[in-house]
Each structure stands twice: as structure tokens, then as C-alpha cells.
Amino acid sequence: MDCDMGGDEGELFASRRVASCRDVEHARRALSDVFLPVDFPSARASSRVDLKLNALTVGRVTCGYMRFNDALRLETAEAEHYHIDIPTAGRATMRAGLGQSIYATPRKAGVFMPGRPVAIDTGERFAQLSLMIPRDQLNLEAENLLGIALTHPLEFSGEMDLDVPGGQVVMQVLRTIDKASEHPDGGLLAHPLAAQRLEQVLLHTLLLDQQHNLSAALVSPAPAAGMRPVAQAVELLRNDPSRPWTVTELATEVSVSVRSLQEGFRRSLDTTPMAYLRQLRLEKVHQALANAEPGSLTVTEIAAHWGFTHLGRFAATYRSTFSESPSETMRAASPPRR
């Protein structure tokens, strides 16, 4: 394989290089191994595709970056999972099955459903971010939000606007993942709670902000859970705040739907289940900082251990809660030097 490990401007996940190759067969194999079987129907065996491919997983979501120097046509097999393709440089025409064409740019992404092949015609020097989200995981999240079993598969609008809040959140999460992936030890991604938090934001943003055939049902009023399920949920959270809880798992444990549990927390405690859990974890951070041995851990490491992925927001919330910065708490815990 002809390899080039140099980085590109705008490249994401650069430390997670999977392939850098010029020949068709290696490019086909690399993309098929990470995502799904692909082909370059117009390319000859001697053609050059100049692929660079970086990839990593966050929870069960596969995040990738790919770049091609020359214009080309790429065709996939029928997808098993949901895919989001987000151009970061250049333009492409994307089409799933016999559906309408999507003219994708760095401001407009394509969202593709399982069971359909996709054809992508790129311009020169085209690059994109690709997300692969397991079908069963996304369906389970939707079922628990609705409180009912799905009778029809999720069918998303094929275009994702990256200028609206939902699209901006997706890009912000991907940039956070990119930054964390630069650390040799994995940074935030090495902490299960932090990785889970990033995965959940991607899933819930897709379900709640991207239009699909069940969007209306998700925004319709939900009955509130009674006091008993809320009290049970609170007890579960307080007894095990380090567990990688999701609101879906918590609702299942107390036998109500996600939306009913959320409405119950709102009425009873004026908060949400995950906000309540974040407050518990914030208290654990405060305790850990106050008890930390000098030089043993950093504020960043302790915050990441408890699932706080955005350090600026964490620091502001911490100061608002405890009337001091995290570093001030840690300094106060250190014995004075003699």
C-alpha cells in the first residue's frame, strides 16, 4: 500500500489513520472494512483514487473522515445501519436507491436509511465525515422515547441542514471527539461516561432534531410518571451515579416510557433525569477535587471520569454551584508548603 501519513487542513481524527492509498483495490477494501461494501464502478484496476481514511468508534457509533483527490463515483451495497455523510470540502451528489438526489455541501449533509444502496458522485478534492449508527440501537432509543414498539422503521428526511441548531450540535460533538482523539491515552474517549455522553447526544439529536416519520409523535404530550417511578429512579441514580446511565435504561428500570419519566421529573423535581444525574456527578467531582492528593490527578481527568466532556461549560457550572473554580477547590485541599 502506498502510504502518506501527512495531515490535511480540515482533517478530523488524524491520529486514527486507517488507510492512505492510491489504488482502487486497497481503497475498496479499507472502506468496506470500516463501513460497508463499496465499489468504484467507473475506475479501472490501474486507476488512482488517492484515499485517506481515518476512523474510530464512540460507543457503538463509527465516526470516520475520508478524502479523495480526484472526482469519482462511489457506490455502496445495501446499508445495514443508518449513515450520515457530511462534506467538509468540495461538493457531491448523493442518492439512496431510487430516491431524490441530495446536493451535499459543507452546509448540507445526507442521511441514509438501512436497506438501500447509495451512490455518491464527488467533485475534485472532496472530503467528508461519515457516521454509521447501528439500526437496532437507534430503533431502541426511539421506542423508549415514545414508550411503544415501532410498527414502522424510522424514515428520516434525506437532507440534514448543518446551519440549524441540530446540525450545529452534531458538528460540535464531532469536533469534541476529534480533539479527544488526539490524546495518546484517548483523552475523554478513554472514560466510559464521557464516551457514552457523546454517543447519546448524537443519537438524541438525530431523533429529536432531524425530521422523520415519527417526529410528530415524539413532540406530542406524554403522560407524567407517578411519584413512585420518579422516587425509584432517584434512588437508582443516587445509589450508583458512576453507572453509565441513559434515560432509556433508567426508564426501563422503573417500567415507564422515557417521556413519561422526563415529565414526572419535571413536575416533581423541576429538572430532568439526566440533569439530576449530572448534579450528582458534579458533587462527586467536588468531593474528588477536595480529597485529591497533590499531583495525583488533574481537574480535566477528574471531570472526564465523571462524564463532563465540555470543560468550559463544566467549569462555569461548577463555579455557579460551589462559588469557586475547580482548581481553587483542588488548591484548597493541598497542604501548604513549608
Note the pLDDT of residue 2: 40
Q: At what angle do helices 192-209 and 165-181 cross, to 10 degrees?
A: 160
Tell me if residue 310 falls in helix, strand or coil: coil
Positive or negative: CA dihedral 162, 165, 170, 172:
positive
Per-10-residue mean pLDDT, the chain, length 338: 48 95 91 96 76 95 95 95 97 93 96 96 95 94 81 92 96 94 84 88 94 87 78 95 88 86 89 92 93 83 86 88 90 60
Q: Is the pTM for the entire model greater than 0.85?
A: no
CA distances to 160, 166, 168 from 163, rounded to whole Å, are 9, 8, 6
Note the pLDDT of residue 5: 35
Give CA 36 to chain center in angstroms.
Answer: 19
Tell me if residue 277 falls in helix, strand or coil: helix
DSSP string covering 105-172: BTTEEEEE-TT--EEEEE-TTEEEEEEEE-HHHHHHHHHHHHTS--SS---B-SEEETTSHHHHHHHH
Note the pLDDT of residue 6: 41
Alpha helices per DSSP H over 210-257: 215-219, 227-239, 247-253
Contact 265, 230 (CB under 8 A): yes
Contact 292, 329 (CB under 8 A): no
